[in-house]
Structure formats: structure tokens, C-alpha cells
């Protein structure tokens, strides 16, 4: 399987991607440290607010940024699943297969914990919704999520590589059906069936 520019953005050395990676490290460190940093909390908060202030000063007006975020390449950089410029993204590494499948791999740490030592169920839904959507894009029939049904077969462990797959199953008019799974150590832990609906064409288009 190979990375595809259709659903992934290019990895760049330096720039915003490095800043986002540093922010992920900060989040992970805070969750891991917990009360161990209580004595330093004032100084740490001041330092982090200082960094945020510097970034805010450079940020364009919100309306302008909302426009640029949806440029063809930039839209793949900012999403919360595999967007390399989004600190919320783990990020999931996406590849594509010749048979039309979309797959990804990711290792999740403590910020994504639900049950002790395991991934929060909502994170599983986020990953699958995104990968099913990418599978639809790859197939050339994309739409908005109308329904996402998940079955949790077994807990997903933290700190282990997880495999996420998605494929478009069928198209019926504006309705698009896709399926996917998340596996750990070769065993399916979560499966999903999604219904996506292609927006109606605007009059005159």
C-alpha cells in the first residue's frame, strides 16, 4: 500500500508541522505527569500562555483562516485525525491499496484513554468516520455522514499499533455505504457501517 496525495498531505520538515508535533508532546507530557507538576503549575501555565500569545499575534482573522483551511492541500493538513498541522490529530498515517481500500496505522497514548489502559470509544468513532469518508473520496463518491454504526468487539489497547481500514461498499443514488474496522494484533476490535449522503446539486450547477 502506498500513500496517496488524494487523501494525505505531504510531510514537510520544519514549519507548522513541527509546531503541531511539539504541541502533541506537551499534551502527552501533561497527561502523563498529572499531579507531579502541581508545584510547577504556575510557571508552566505562564510559559504556555506566552507561547499561545505569540501564535495568536501571528494568526490571521478567523474568516480568512476558515477560507484558507479548505484549499485543496490545506484541507488535508488541518483535520483532527491525520492532519499533520493539527495538534489534536494523533496523527493517523494513511495508505491506500490497489483494491480501493483505505488503511491507516496509529499508536495512541494516554490523552486518548477511556477505560484504564484502553482507547476511548469516541476516539474509535472519530477514526472510523474519517477513514470511511476517505474511502468514499478515493472511490469518487463522497458525501456527508448520515449514520455511523459501531460494534465494539473487544477493548482497543493503548501503546500498541492499531490498524484502521475502510472501503466503499455500495452506492444507491445519493446514498453511499461504507464499512471499516480497527484491529489490534491482527484481531478486529471495532467494526463500523456508515451511511453517507451526497449533497443535492444546487440549481444551475
Q: Is pTM, for the whole model, over 0.85?
A: yes
pLDDT for position 75: 76
- The candidate with the shortest Cα–Cα distance to 101, out of 40, 55, 167, is 167
Higher pLDDT, 19 or 76: 19
- The candidate with the shortest Cα–Cα distance to 11, out of 60, 56, 73, is 73
Q: What is the mean pLDDT of the chain?
A: 92
pLDDT for position 168: 96
Res 1 pLDDT > 50: no
Q: Could you give the CA distance from residue 14 to residue 36 in angstroms, rounded to a whole number? A: 31
CATH architecture of the domain covering 92-197: Roll (3.10)
Q: Could you give the CA distance from residue 179 to residue 68 in angstroms, rounded to a whole number? A: 31
pLDDT for position 97: 75
Higher pLDDT, 205 or 195: 195
What are residue 33's DSSP bridge partners? none
For the stretch 44-97, pLDDT in tens is: 999 999 999 999 999 999 999 999 888 877 778 999 999 999 999 999 999 987
Per-domain residue ranges of the chain: 6-85, 92-197
Q: What is the DSSP string of 137-166?
A: HHHT---EEEEEEEEE-SPPBTTSEEEEEE
Q: Could you give the CA distance from residue 188 to residue 152 in angstroms, rounded to a whole number? A: 9
Stated length of the chain = 205
For the stretch 113-151, pLDDT in tens is: 999 999 999 999 999 999 999 999 999 999 999 999 999
Percent of the chain with pLDDT over 90: 81
Amino acid at each position: 500500500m502506498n500513500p496517496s496525495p488524494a487523501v494525505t498531505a505531504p510531510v514537510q520538515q520544519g514549519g507548522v508541522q513541527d509546531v503541531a508535533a511539539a504541541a502533541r508532546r506537551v499534551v502527552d507530557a501533561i497527561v502523563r505527569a498529572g499531579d507531579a507538576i502541581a508545584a510547577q503549575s504556575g510557571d508552566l501555565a505562564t510559559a504556555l500562555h506566552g507561547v499561545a500569545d505569540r501564535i495568536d499575534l501571528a494568526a490571521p482573522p478567523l474568516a480568512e483562516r476558515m477560507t484558507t483551511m479548505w484549499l485543496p492541500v490545506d484541507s488535508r493538513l488541518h483535520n483532527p485525525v491525520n492532519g499533520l498541522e493539527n495538534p489534536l490529530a494523533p496523527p493517523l498515517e494513511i495508505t491506500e491499496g490497489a483494491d480501493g481500500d483505505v488503511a491507516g496505522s496509529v499508536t495512541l497514548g494516554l490523552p486518548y484513554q477511556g477505560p484504564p489502559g484502553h482507547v476511548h470509544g469516541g476516539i474509535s468513532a472519530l477514526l472510523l468516520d474519517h477513514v470511511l469518508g476517505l474511502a468514499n473520496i478515493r472511490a469518487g463518491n463522497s458525501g456527508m455522514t448520515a449514520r455511523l454504526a459501531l460494534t465494539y468487539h473487544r477493548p482497543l489497547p493503548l501503546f500498541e499499533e492499531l490498524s484502521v481500514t475502510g472501503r466503499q461498499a455500495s452506492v444507491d443514488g445519493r446514498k453511499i455505504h461504507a464499512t471499516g474496522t480497527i484491529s489490534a494484533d491482527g484481531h478486529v476490535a471495532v467494526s463500523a457501517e456508515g451511511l453517507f449522503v451526497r449533497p443535492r446539486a444546487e440549481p444551475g450547477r
